[in-house]
Structures are given as structure tokens and as C-alpha cells.
Amino acid sequence: MKELLKVNLRAHFIYFRRSRLLLAFALVFLLLTLLSALPIVFSPSRAAAFTGAKQIFSTLNMFLIAFSAGLGLFLISSHLRDRNLKMVFTKPCPPTLWLASTYVSAIGVSLLLNVTILACALVMSLLGHTKVQAGLAFVSFDTFAASVGMIAYLMFLAMVMHPVIAVVFVLIFNPSTFYNLQLWVQAVQSAGRKSTILQVFERLFHYCYMVLPMVHPFSRQTQAIHDSLRVAPAEWPYALYSLGYALSLTALSYCLSLFFLQRKKLI
């Protein structure tokens, strides 16, 4: 079992290294980051340099979440599209083990990139002679937790629908969309227009908001940390709460993905 896991992990890492699409995404992210770093190079003040460096760190973390989600999406969709899973499962390799290896490989790459970004941020702080903020570690941990959740969610969507449809689904049907729709319905009701249909829509939007996965489930409590990179001792548990949420989402996504995988004709 351990040898099969190693073989699958090695195959997934080779796929990540050779994927031109993932390479293109990484190069685009790197180019955008370099462009945003130009103001820091020519910045005359230390305060402006710190603000710019913080913005780059935030941008890289945002890109990392999107890129990590893409890792899981492309890995699952490529195997389903090429229809090579039948050969994989007849080695024999249990679907449970193969699917677990996809999660582990994508999360492992995301963790490596997360540590790399944190290390670069620390180096930039030291070179810029600015105080190293503990919030850097908090934001990195929170970003990793968000990446884990999005990897699992996109892997599940890739298992049940076309990857393009999965991306469109995530962009349109997300908690923010339904939260804003719920606020709109409440505003209409506050203006004096009340009806049963509006009440039904308000409940529907609320349930959709609660059910759909969130990137940062505790953003209200942690947004100030992301903005200032300063974290109080009492705020550190929110990083663990975010990880717990991500792991719960991963477990649910894995079970659902396995359910649909075992019912596909390619097995």
C-alpha cells in the first residue's frame, strides 16, 4: 500500500512539473507580481516600501489560493479526460488510494509554495530593514488552510462536471454572491415591499450562503490581521479554526468524490 502511494505521488508530481497549462498560470502570476513590485524598487521611503511589500505578499497569497485550486482541478480533469484511470485501477490500485494520492500531492505542492512565499516575505523584510511581523506567519497559515479547502472543493467539482463549468460555477455561485442577494432582498423588504416570494428567496439565498464553501470562513475576525500583519495572542486560534474548516471540507469532498468516482464507467 505504501509503495502504491509513493508511485502515485511520483506520477502526480511529474504531471505537475510537465503541465504546460500550470506553467503558463505560474508565469502569469509571476509576471503580475513583478509588475506590482516595480513601485517598491523605486520607492524613496521605508514606509512606502513596507506598504508595497505587504501588497505583494497579499497578492501572492491570493494567487496561491487560485493556483492551488487549479492543481486539483487540472489533475482530476486530465485523468478523466484522457480516460487512463481504468489502466491505473487495474494495476491494481484501489480508487480510494489513488484519490487520496491526488489530494496529498496537490496539498503538498501548495504547502511548498506557501513556505516559499513566506520565506521570500521574511527575506524582503530583512533586506528592507523593517520589523518582521508575526502576522506574516498567521497569514501564511490562513492562506494554506484556504488553499487546502479550495483544492478539495475544485477536485470534487472536477469529478462531477467539466473543468470549465466548474470554474464558472465557483466564480458565479459563491457565498459572496448569495450574501449580496440576501442583503438586496432584505433591503427591498425594509423599503416596505413584503411578499411570500421575497421571504422564500431570502431563505434560499441564506441557505446557499451557509452551504457553499468559503475561502476564508473567519474573514471578519482575521481581515484586520491581513491588512496590518499584526496579530494578538488571542487571535491565533482563528488560524486553527480555518484549518479545521478546511480539513472538514476536504473530508466531505473526498467522500463525495469517491462516491462519484466509483460509479463512473471508466472503472
User: Residue 88 is which amino acid?
Assistant: V
Confidence at residue 266, expressed as pLDDT on a 0 to 100 scale: 59
Confidence at residue 55, expressed as pLDDT on a 0 to 100 scale: 79
Half-sphere exposure of 10 (CA within 13 A, CB side): 6
Confidence at residue 213, expressed as pLDDT on a 0 to 100 scale: 93
For 51-110, write each residue's pLDDT tens digit: 767 777 888 899 899 989 988 898 888 877 765 555 555 567 788 888 999 999 999 999
Average pLDDT over residues 218-245: 90
| 86 vs 265: CA distance, rounded Å | 9
Confidence at residue 120, expressed as pLDDT on a 0 to 100 scale: 82
Check residues 41 and 35 and name the one with the higher pLDDT. Answer: 35
Check residues 123 and 183 and name the one with the higher pLDDT. Answer: 183
Task: Break the chain into its structural domains and give their ranges.
Answer: 2-171+215-261, 175-211
For 142-155, write each residue's pLDDT tens digit: 999 999 999 999 99
Strands (E), 37-83: none
Distances in whole angstroms, Cα of residue 174 to Cα of each of 167, 213, 245, 256: 11, 8, 16, 19
